[in-house]
Amino acid sequence: MGERSSSAASAPSASSGSSPTALANALGRTYIADTKTALSAWLALELGRPLLVEGPAGVGKTDLARALAETLGRPLVRLQCYEGLDEAKALYEWDYAKQMLYTQLLRDAALAQTDGAPSIAEAADRVAGAETAFFSKRFLISRPLLAALESETPAVLLVDEVDRADPEFEAFLLEILAEQQITIPELGTVKATHPPLVILTTNGTRDMTDALRRRCLHAFLDYPPPSREIAILELRVPGIAKGLAEALVGFVHGVRALELRKAPSIAETIDWARALILLGASALDKELASSTLGVLLKHEEDRRKVEADLGKLGL
């Protein structure tokens, strides 16, 4: 989703910056985006299109949405996907408890309205109009997708790890992605008050359907080159020495080249840097690396493999 309706898609957006470079510079206060990623985000804003961001876990896909929300001054609405996610958790559901309470409170009025009805059918006809009252917005619970459409200010809607949801769930998303609206059978079509910017992320555990891909722009995030990861460390870990940052990043890139159950993410590199600074380290050595690998690696078999290769990794 973008920040304008499709009829205004060609107009420049004040909040997105005058160019991809301007957006990248604005993001740079909290997020180091490469040129292609900044361009994709800028185009999503300018064209009013969702952005599907693919890549390995831990390369900054979710953080991109957070940074865009912060940079654009928008609220972030997040839908975390998982197996079994359904319409009631993602779009909306009816507050049945509240409906039942109102039914009890209005029982006397309903009895008066049906008093003297010659048949059950006639009584049902008399109260039929009340059905719409019980399926109105006062009884509707907005879940993240609907909340983003109804937001009083333009939002950033993050549909995180969409590949974890069932393929059927994507059908729920198509109307929002294409039309910036949803259809609620009892109420009709709800259009976006302010079309949100939609960021969908996927770790590639399963492929997205062609129907979803057609509705989105696409960006791929991979592990950053050393120079950009050093810049990320310097941004996220203020005060880290240049030499320590270079040593950490060089070591982590060597670790990622190994066959591991889970390669360390950027977030884990940041955590490791913070841990070493907390320990008062100004340089990386074999003993320090060995004793703190649990911050960087999350599987014992990976830790043992890396520990056995510390010499080959330059320590």
Q: CA–CA separation, 270 vs 231, rounded Å?
A: 11
pLDDT at 134: 53
pLDDT at 265: 94
Rounded to 5°, angle at Cα 256 from 255 and 257:
90
What is the share, in percent, of the chain residues with pLDDT greater than 90? Answer: 65
| CA-wise closest residue to 2 among 172, 177, 163 | 177
Mean pLDDT, the chain, rounded, equals 85
Q: Which two tokens stand for residue 148?
A: 């983003």
With 90 as the cut, is the pLDDT of residue 230 above it? Answer: yes
Instruction: Say which residue, 198 or 123, is predicted with more confidence.
Output: 198
Instruction: Say which residue, 127 or 89, is predicted with more confidence.
Output: 89
In this structure, are residues 224 and 217 in contact, taking their beta carbons and an 8 Å threshold?
no
pLDDT at 17: 58
| CA-wise closest residue to 303 among 250, 245, 264 | 264
With 80 as the cut, is the pLDDT of residue 113 above it? Answer: no
With 60 as the cut, is the pLDDT of residue 273 above it? Answer: yes
What homologous superfamily does CATH list for 6-83+148-220? Answer: P-loop containing nucleotide triphosphate hydrolases (3.40.50.300)
With 90 as the cut, is the pLDDT of residue 256 above it? Answer: yes
What does the pLDDT look like over 4-25, one tens digit per residue?
A: 333 333 333 445 557 899 999 9
Band of residue 138 on the pLDDT scale cut at 50, 70, 90: low
Compute CA 289 distance to the chain's CA centroid, rounded to the nearest angstrom: 33
Band of residue 296 on the pLDDT scale cut at 50, 70, 90: very high
In this structure, are residues 60 and 268 in contact, taking their beta carbons and an 8 Å threshold?
no
pLDDT at 101: 63
Question: What average pLDDT does this structure show over 242-260?
Answer: 95
pLDDT at 184: 78
pLDDT at 106: 57
Alpha carbon separation from 302 to 29, 141, 267, 273, 308 (Å, rounded):
34, 45, 17, 19, 10
With 60 as the cut, is the pLDDT of residue 96 above it? Answer: no
Compute CA 6 distance to the chain's CA centroid, rounded to the nearest angstrom: 23
Question: What average pLDDT does this structure show over 49-72?
Answer: 96
pLDDT at 122: 56
pLDDT at 128: 52
Find the farthest-apart pair of alpha carbons in the chain and give their distance in angstroms, rounded: 92
Name which of 44-48, 95-99, 177-181, 262-266 the model is least confident about. Answer: 95-99
Question: What average pLDDT does this structure show over 60-72?
Answer: 96
Beta bridge partners of 92: 142
Q: CA–CA separation, 156 vs 41, rounded Å?
A: 12
With 60 as the cut, is the pLDDT of residue 170 above it? Answer: yes
pTM recorded for the entire structure: 0.80
Band of residue 1 on the pLDDT scale cut at 50, 70, 90: very low
pLDDT at 187: 74
pLDDT at 8: 36
Question: What average pLDDT does this structure show over 90-96?
Answer: 71
In this structure, are residues 32 and 228 in contact, taking their beta carbons and an 8 Å threshold?
yes
What is the share, in percent, of the chain residues with pLDDT greater than 70? Answer: 80
Question: What average pLDDT does this structure show over 31-46?
Answer: 95
3 state SS for the chain: CCCCCHHHCCCCCCCCCCCHHHHHHHHCCCCCCCHHHHHHHHHHHHHCCCEEEECCCCCCHHHHHHHHHHHHCCCEEEEECCCCCCHHHHCEEECHHHHHHHHHHCHHHHHHHHCCCCCHHHHHHHHCCHHHHHCCHHHEEECHHHHHHHCCCCCEEEEECHHHCCHHHHHHHHHHHHHCEEEECCCEEEECCCCCEEEEEECCCCCCCHHHHHCCEEEECCCCCHHHHHHHHHHHCCCCCHHHHHHHHHHHHHHHCCCCCCCCCHHHHHHHHHHHHHCCCCCCCHHHHHHHHHHHCCCHHHHHHHHHCCCCCCC
| CA-wise closest residue to 26 among 74, 93, 58 | 74
